[in-house]
């Protein structure tokens, strides 16, 4: 079972549908589901969805930081990746101007997420925060020309 924690992304249902099309069971739950509940669910992996908030907004949605101690694969998408970086001591800052729409990225390190795709490609971007420094134990595997991190991969 894959657990999707929803931070308000307009794509959460699409993510779940794609996972189910791969014949993998998944459930969507709110971002603030208690850690003990997650442990009882016994997921094989967790996806932290995107969302409209900035990780720095007052009252911004956060997960229990102990989620990263569950020894599970975790995929953070957009807001979920920025929150992961923030909670694990990376550097995240608001950008001067939100990126919204078509963007070009470069895959700078091999990554299972980008296997079989071009090293340079167009993507859809929608964010107001940017990861400026990866957390300890992570490396940047893809970014935009402006330096916006598109993927972080754990190195440990």
Q: Distance between CA 27 and CA 155 in Å, rounded?
A: 28
Q: Distance between CA 137 and CA 143 in Å, rounded?
A: 18
Residues 13, 71 share a domain: yes
Residues 102, 54 share a domain: no
SS3 9: coil
Boundary of a domain, candidates 45, 60, 87: 87
The verdict on pTM exceeding 0.95 is no
Give pLDDT tens digits along the chain (156 positions). Answer: 999 999 999 899 999 999 999 999 999 999 999 999 999 999 999 999 999 888 988 999 999 999 999 999 999 888 998 999 999 999 998 876 666 678 888 898 888 888 999 999 888 777 678 888 889 988 888 887 766 676 666 665
Residues 28, 101 share a domain: no
Looking at the structure of the chain, the number of domains it has is 2
**Alpha-carbon distances of 61 from 53, 112, 134, 136, 142, rounded to whole Å:** 8, 28, 21, 23, 25
Q: Distance between CA 83 and CA 104 in Å, rounded?
A: 23
**Alpha-carbon distances of 143 from 35, 105, 139, 140, 151, rounded to whole Å:** 31, 5, 11, 7, 7
Q: Distance between CA 92 and CA 79 in Å, rounded?
A: 11
DSSP strand pairing (149-154 vs 138-144): antiparallel
Residue written as tokens 């490396």? 139
Residues 69, 54 share a domain: yes
- Residue 20 structural domain: 1-87
Q: Distance between CA 36 and CA 17 in Å, rounded?
A: 26
Residues 103, 77 share a domain: no
């Amino acid at each position: 079972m894959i657990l999707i924690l929803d931070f308000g992304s307009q794509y959460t249902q699409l993510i779940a549908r794609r996972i189910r099309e791969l014949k993998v069971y998944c459930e969507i739950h709110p971002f603030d589901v208690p850690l003990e509940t997650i442990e009882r669910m016994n997921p094989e992996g967790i996806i932290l969805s995107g969302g409209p908030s900035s990780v720095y907004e007052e009252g911004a949605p956060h997960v229990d930081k102990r989620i990263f101690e569950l020894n599970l694969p975790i995929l953070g998408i957009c807001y979920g990746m920025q929150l992961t970086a923030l909670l694990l001591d990376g550097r995240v800052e608001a950008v001067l101007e939100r990126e919204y729409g078509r963007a070009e990225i470069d895959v700078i390190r091999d990554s299972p997420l980008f296997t079989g795709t071009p090293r340079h490609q167009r993507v859809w971007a929608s964010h107001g925060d940017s990861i400026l420094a990866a957390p300890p134990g992570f490396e940047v595997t893809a970014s935009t020309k402006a330096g916006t991190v598109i993927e972080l991969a754990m190195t440990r």
